Amino acid sequence: MPKFTGKLLSAPRRNLVITASSVVFLFLAIFPTNNVLIIEGDKGSNIIKVNGNETIELSFIHSVELSRWIQIYKIVNNKLFLVRSLTKSCGWGLPSVGEDFSFEEIDGETWMVFQPRRYIEYPYMIGTDAINDFTLTTDDKTIKLERYGSVVAIKVEKIGSLEYFLRRLWPEGFKAG
């Protein structure tokens, strides 16, 4: 049986391991591999991996009309792109009827459908209130936005794997401020 000398790696092998680990660390730190949706408010933040084909839905109760409003987004060029808006009423603070307007039957309900097709300016600031019930839904998550504060910022970023891991581990350390 070989005698243990207390050294696990020889100096050349140790240097090779350190160099390889450094290269992997740098690759993970700088290579932008993740599209993420970032939600930030005065009560907390969240970061969610999203893919380029994912649908993001923002649903809320309109404060004047008191009817459900649903905005449907796609991620295009690393930005939120509003593709459709659904509502049950058309009045104060809602779009007027235009060329991009139709009525559609969705899950047994009739909705007014608008197709504005425009990018959202960043950060997308939303004033939340319990009456509005702002809810953000991705392909696999549903999030009540008021839990992050009375004013919430939403944006899409492309970040490296290491940054994603660190933001998930310590979300408050990355909060904009």
Helix (H, G, I), strand (E, B) or coil at 121: coil
Per-residue pLDDT at 30: 67
**pLDDT tens digits, one per residue of 27-67:** 766 666 788 999 999 999 999 989 877 899 999 998 777 88
pTM above 0.85, yes or no: no
Q: Are 36 and 156 in contact (CB under 8 A)?
A: yes
Per-residue pLDDT at 20: 83
Per-residue pLDDT at 153: 96
Strands in the chain per DSSP E: 32-41, 44-50, 55-61, 68-76, 79-87, 101-106, 109-114, 118-119, 124-127, 135-137, 142-144, 151-160
Q: Are 117 and 82 in contact (CB under 8 A)?
A: yes
Q: How many CB atoms lie within 10 A of CB 106?
A: 10
Residues of the chain with pLDDT under 50: 176-177
Domain ranges of the chain: 11-174
Per-residue pLDDT at 63: 76
Per-residue pLDDT at 93: 57
